[in-house]
Amino acid sequence: MDVYGLIGNPVGHSLSPPMHEAAYEELGIDARYVTFEPPADAGATGVESAATLGVSGLNVTIPFKQDVLDAVEPAPLAERIGAVNTVDFATDPPTGYNTDAVGATRALRDHDVALEGTAVVVGAGGAGRAVAFGLADEGMTVDIANRTEAKAHDLAEEVPDATGHGLDALDELVAAADVLVNCTSVGMKADRSPVPAEALHADLGVLDAVYDPIETRLLRDAAEAGATTVDGAWMLLYQGVEAFERWTGEDAPVEKMNRVLRERL
């Protein structure tokens, strides 16, 4: 039996185990997906231990996404993002991927949002970093807007074809944009949006990385403006789909994984 898992602290609330185990069941793969919660300073040690124990693959979450870089050979995108959320132990040293970036781009594509033109990424934390690099990799021009403007400028210096802004620039930026992704926590468990509703328009594809609630204020405002909306569960789904496909080499049963994920959200 193959063992996959998630390493994080805390990991108790994770939706990854049911999502991945549904995929194993659907495809008849003899595997389990378990959670590991090492002490907060033991991310790299945890990955090394997993390799020793013969674990096949690990997802990585807070607070270990940077630390585990010391225990893997990062793929080019993960190296540029500076964070790993998926480890494949089929290689020695294990390979570190960042499937958060691809999770966002696949979620948008799946909803027929063309990854062309200009994208506005709101937020310059871990999620904002991954999404900004992911969209730039697709050839988009990226405007990064963040509450702490200096962080947006710092990130924009690393991302090709990107510019940093404060949140006060959002009206103007969003009006001219093709794609908008919220990578802040604004809207999580609260009826708030980081983007002024008046700026939203029908030619926009809007992804909200927040998935609690599923329909955030931003997505409601975007739907009212006639935009194409993509909720955060799609991003969560596709980062898992991408990890599954890296590990097994098989096409993931996306519909089944999506159904199981949404039943639990």
Q: Which residues bind ligand ATR (CB under 6 A)?
A: 123-128, 146-148, 151, 183-186, 194
Decide whether 153 or 256 has the Cβ nearer to ligand ATR. Answer: 153
Residue 149 CB neighbour total at 10 angstroms? 17
Least separation in angstroms between CB 130 and ligand ATR:
8
Least separation in angstroms between CB 65 and ligand ATR:
8
Is the distance from CB of 205 to CB of 231 less than 8 angstroms?
Answer: no
Decide whether 56 or 66 has the Cβ nearer to ligand ATR. Answer: 66
Q: Which residue's Cβ lies closest to ligand ATR?
A: 125
Least separation in angstroms between CB 151 and ligand ATR:
5
Tell me: cis bond preceding 18? Omega within 30 of 0 counts.
Answer: no
Decide whether 91 or 148 has the Cβ nearer to ligand ATR. Answer: 148
Decide whether 23 or 181 has the Cβ nearer to ligand ATR. Answer: 181
**Count of residues in the chain:** 265
Least separation in angstroms between CB 13 and ligand ATR:
14
| Residues in Cβ contact with 246 at an 8 Å cutoff, skipping those fewer than 6 apart | 57, 86, 88, 97, 99
CA dist 265 and 261 (Å) reads: 6
- Residue from 65, 151, 189, 256 carrying the catalytic annotation: 65
Decide whether 72 or 183 has the Cβ nearer to ligand ATR. Answer: 183
Active site residue 189: no
Least separation in angstroms between CB 194 and ligand ATR:
6
- Please identify every residue annotated as catalytic: 65
